[in-house]
Amino acid sequence: MAAGAAAALALAAPEAGASVTRIDVATGLSFGSSGSIGTGCSYTVTATARPGSSVVFLDEVDGLRTDATFKPVGPTADANGKASTTWTPAKKGQHKIWAAEYISGETYFMTAVNVGTGLNLGPLCFVLP
């Protein structure tokens, strides 16, 4: 999906009854003085949604939204309602991760995370200030 299409979805008017009810970020083997999420390291992001629905993810930092930091961008929720993607943040700072069912006018659910400078050590990530 093109970043422009994802951005257009993000700007759609909110409606009641969002299908995404939760976003979780698994930090895995990340550690360091400025937190547990670092640039250049990969993390599993899981949205809870209706089973079988396609979920689109967006990463917002410094007021700019992109879907380029997620692979895949629009996974389908499994029978338990879990849609997972791999997130690799490219910039340090306060990030907002947005997720919504991939339908026009759907309300996005958001969670905020702080990202430090990551030193990717294979399966480990050391996060610097």
| Per-residue pLDDT reduced to its tens digit, 15-48 | 334 589 999 999 888 877 667 899 999 999 999 9
- Answering whether pTM is above 0.85, one says no
β 64-66/22-26 pair status = unpaired
Q: What is the pLDDT of residue 100?
A: 94
**Which stretch of 8-12, 23-27, 124-128 has the lowest confidence by average pLDDT?**
8-12
CATH among 3.30.70.100, 2.60.40.10, 2.70.98.60, 3.40.50.1820 for 3-116: 2.60.40.10
Given a cut of 50, whether residue 6 has pLDDT beyond it is no
Compute the Cα dihedral for 24, 91, 95, 73 and give only its sign.
Answer: negative
Calculate what percentage of the chain has a pLDDT beyond 90: 64
Q: What residue ranges do the domains of the chain occupy?
A: 3-116
